[in-house]
C-alpha cells in the first residue's frame, strides 16, 4: 500500500518544538561603535565603513572613510542542537544579523563628494559559525549580495 504523507499538524508541532528549543539556547547580541576625531586629524585616523568589521553588505571601505562614524550590528545566534539528547552541542551556530553605518557627511548633513557617493548603508544577512570560522552572506540596501569568510571575533557578531 502507498505510504501516507505525515500530517501537517505533526510537522507544525515539530517546527514549534524546534523553535522553542532554539529560543531557549539562542542569544541576541548588539554592538555599536562610534568615532569622532578633530578636523585636523591625519587621514589614517579616518574610520573605513563597509566590509567584515562594519557593514557586511558592502566591500571593505565602500561606504567611505570619515573622522566621524557610527556603526552597529544586531545578531541572533542559534546554536544547533546536540546530536545525542543531553550531549554537548556541536560548535556550530546559525546566525541572523543586521548591520548599519554612517560616516561624517551623512552624520553632519553635508553634501556628498562625487568620489564617495555613499555616506551610509545597511544590510541584513545570515551565516554559520563552525568553531572559530564564520561564513556570512549579507544583502545590502541596493539588493546586492556579499559573502564574507573569516574568524569569529574579527567582526561585529
Q: Give the pLDDT of residue 118.
A: 59
Which tens digit of pLDDT belongs to each residue from 60-83?
989 888 888 899 999 999 888 767
| CA distance linking residue 117 with residue 73, whole number of Å | 23
| Distance of alpha carbon 147 from alpha carbon 27, whole angstroms | 23
Q: Summarize pLDDT for 3-12 with one digit per residue, the tens.
A: 555 555 677 7
What band does 157 get if pLDDT is binned at 50, 70 and 90?
very low
Q: Look at residue 22 in the predicted model and tell me its pLDDT.
A: 66
79 exposed, middle or buried (CB, 10 Å; 0-12, 13-18, 19+)?
A: middle
Selected residue with higher pLDDT from 13 and 102 = 102
pLDDT range class, residue 27, cuts 50, 70, 90: confident
89, 80 Cβ separation under 8 angstroms: yes
Query: Which residues lie across from 124 on neighbouring strands?
Result: 98, 139
- Give the pLDDT band (50/70/90) at residue 18: low
CA angle at 69 for the pair 63 and 75, rounded to the nearest 5°: 80
pLDDT digit string, tens, across residues 84-131: 677 776 789 999 999 999 987 655 555 555 555 558 899 999 999 998
pTM for this prediction: 0.74
The pair phi, psi for residue 18, each rounded to 5°, is -60, -45
In the structure grid, which three cell numbers stand for residue 71, read together?
556603526
Amino acid at each position: 500500500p502507498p505510504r501516507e504523507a505525515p500530517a501537517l499538524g505533526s510537522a507544525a508541532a515539530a517546527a514549534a518544538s524546534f523553535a522553542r528549543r532554539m529560543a531557549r539556547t539562542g542569544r541576541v547580541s548588539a554592538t555599536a561603535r562610534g568615532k569622532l576625531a578633530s578636523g585636523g586629524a591625519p587621514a589614517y585616523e579616518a574610520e573605513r565603513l563597509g566590509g567584515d568589521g562594519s557593514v557586511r553588505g558592502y566591500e571593505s571601505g565602500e561606504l567611505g572613510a570619515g573622522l566621524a562614524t557610527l556603526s552597529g550590528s544586531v545578531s541572533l545566534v542559534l546554536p544547533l542542537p546536540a546530536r545525542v539528547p543531553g550531549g554537548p552541542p556541536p560548535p556550530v551556530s546559525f546566525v541572523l544579523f543586521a548591520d548599519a553605518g554612517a560616516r561624517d557627511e551623512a552624520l553632519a548633513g553635508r553634501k556628498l563628494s562625487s568620489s564617495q557617493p555613499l555616506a551610509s548603508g545597511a544590510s541584513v544577512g545570515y551565516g554559520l559559525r563552525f568553531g572559530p570560522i564564520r561564513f556570512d552572506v549579507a544583502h545590502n540596501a541596493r539588493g546586492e549580495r556579499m559573502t564574507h569568510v573569516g574568524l569569529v571575533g574579527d567582526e561585529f557578531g
